[in-house]
Amino acid sequence: MSDTPLLIAGLGNPGAEYARHRHNAGFMAVDTIHASYDFAPWRSRFQGALSEGVLGRRKTYLLKPATYMNESGQSIGPAMRFFKLPLSALVVMHDEIDLAAAKLKVKTGGGDAGNNGARSITATLGPDYRRVRIGIGHPGEKHRVHGHVLGNFSKQDEEWLVPLLGAIADAAPLLAKDDDVGFMNKVALLTQPPKPKKKDTSDGL
């Protein structure tokens, strides 16, 4: 495990009107981590909200940029430079329409898959940071993407969203240990549907 502090940034748009949007899945994930461990209260830093704590015995900063999604790099870039962190110490959590709802993947580097927040961070810092991609599903037609992403999670979505956010928080110390595969496996294990009970075929004897 690295002695370098970790910075976990959740992406979203600030303001109550955006709070339940699918595009704010990154904010929701970081908020759940913040509530699940002993992190300091949020304070205004780096054009966003910053908190400091420990995950898996590693010093960890949580950051929610308040720059709006498309300018996320304007918040994360200065934070990374201030704390003198390498890109390997950055984890960005964001929604992903190209992943099925309730699915999650972690990858390092690569393209930004149309996510403007990731694009802004890449333009500011380069691509070689870790991304926790939270699947929100694709609406099926390109012209419906904007409304889907900037629409609220539905009641039906809550059935998988709440357990997924809880699993992300439970598994977060594995991110601090740079164990991305372990993190994904634990989230998958915690969110798998319960197996149906086998019918009792005995005749009572």
Tell me, rounded to whole angstroms, the distance of Cα 182 from its chain centroid. 16
Tell me if residue 23 is catalytic.
Answer: yes
Going from the C-alpha of 4 to that of each of 131, 153, 192, the distances in angstroms are 18, 36, 33
**Cα(139)–Cα(182) distance, rounded to whole angstroms?**
30
Secondary structure letter of residue 152 according to DSSP: B
Secondary structure letter of residue 196 according to DSSP: P
Pull the structure tokens for residue 83. 């704390």
- Out of 21, 23, 34, 94, the active site residue is 23
DSSP 7-58: EEEE----SGGGTTBGGGHHHHHHHHHHHHTTPPPPEEETTEEEEEEEETTE
Give the residue numbers annotated as catalytic, written as ranges: 23
